[in-house]
Amino acid sequence: MSTIGNNIISVKASLPQGVRLVAVSKFHPAERLREAYDAGQRLFGESRVQELQAKTSQLPDDIQWHFIGHLQSNKVRQLLSLPVALIESVDTERLLRIIDDESAKRGITTRVLLQLHVAMEETKFGFSPEELINFFAEKKHLSLKATRISGIMGMASNTDDTARITADFSLIASTFNRLRNDSSLQLQGFDTLSMGMSDDRDIAISCGSNLVRVGTAIFGSRQY
């Protein structure tokens, strides 16, 4: 078994039942993904449309691809022409509308997560908790024609401070639960809470994550 194959097996073994693993393969060549595939991994995450396109054409078509990067509106058409199972990183209402219009035009239903921004870094993308709550309170999700909002994605602050990381994930999780438990919102299939990366996935899981996005701990460090 390759190193990457062994990493897949040990990361998977460390996850409680009900927590799924996205192998974040951005910046790694297709041969590395193939090693993970050969160890049984079928769910991969990519952050650039061009790179996703190249990899989908080189790798088996029983792979489920998640898009996890910042998506520019002028790349939406190209992304939706690819076999993408879930866009995890919808970070504005405007982007959501563009995805919805383009999906309707194509006659497909696109599954997305809305990205929630709670971290300290200004550079990170996403809805604020207040924006997100208001979006649903105003029932805007009910006007989507061809998009299914399946849950929330979020990142914790980039810090060693475990208390801060825990607070960030707790806020993301409580926002998710508040929405999911509000029957007046008529949310259907709103069941995915994507939190946790290589270094903070255990904390994320203890806060309720059911989808972790792990890159470095599987593929090693990235050469940007």
Minimum distance from CB of 222 to ligand PLP (Å)?
7
In the complex, minimum distance from the CB of residue 146 to ligand PLP, in angstroms, rounded to a whole number: 24
- For ligand PLP, the closer of residues 37 and 67 by Cβ is 67
CA 62 – CA 173 distance, rounded (Å) = 30
CA distances from 224 to 7, 186, 200 (A): 21, 42, 22
Q: Which of 8, 23, 24, 39 touches ligand PLP by CB under 6 A? A: 24
Token representation of residue 72? 């520019």
User: What is the CB-side half-sphere exposure of residue 17 using CA atoms within 13 A?
Assistant: 0
SS3 (DSSP) at 98:
helix
- Which residue in 201, 177, 198 sits closest to 19, CA to CA? 201
Position of minimal CB gap to ligand PLP: 215
Closer residue to ligand PLP, CB minimum distance, 39 or 217: 217
Binding window for ligand PLP (CB under 6 A); candidates: 9-17, 48-56, 136-144, 195-203: 195-203
Least Å distance, CB 123 to ligand PLP, is 12
Whole-number minimum distance, CB 40 to ligand PLP, in Å? 19
User: How many amino acids of this chain bind ligand PLP (CB under 6 A)?
Assistant: 13
Sort 189 into a burial class: Cβ within 10 Å, 0-12 / 13-18 / 19+: exposed
Query: Are the beta carbons of 72 and 89 closer than 8 angstroms?
Result: no
Site string for ligand PLP, 66-95 (x = CB under 6 A): --xx--------------------------
* Residue 5: strand pairing partners: none
Decide: is 32 part of the binding site for ligand PLP (CB under 6 A): no
Is residue 5 a contact residue for ligand PLP (CB under 6 A)? Answer: no
The yes or no reply on residue 55 touching ligand PLP (CB under 6 A) is no
Q: How far apart are CA 5 and CA 45, in angstroms?
A: 17
Tell me which residues touch ligand PLP (CB under 6 A): 24, 26, 47, 68-69, 197-199, 213-217
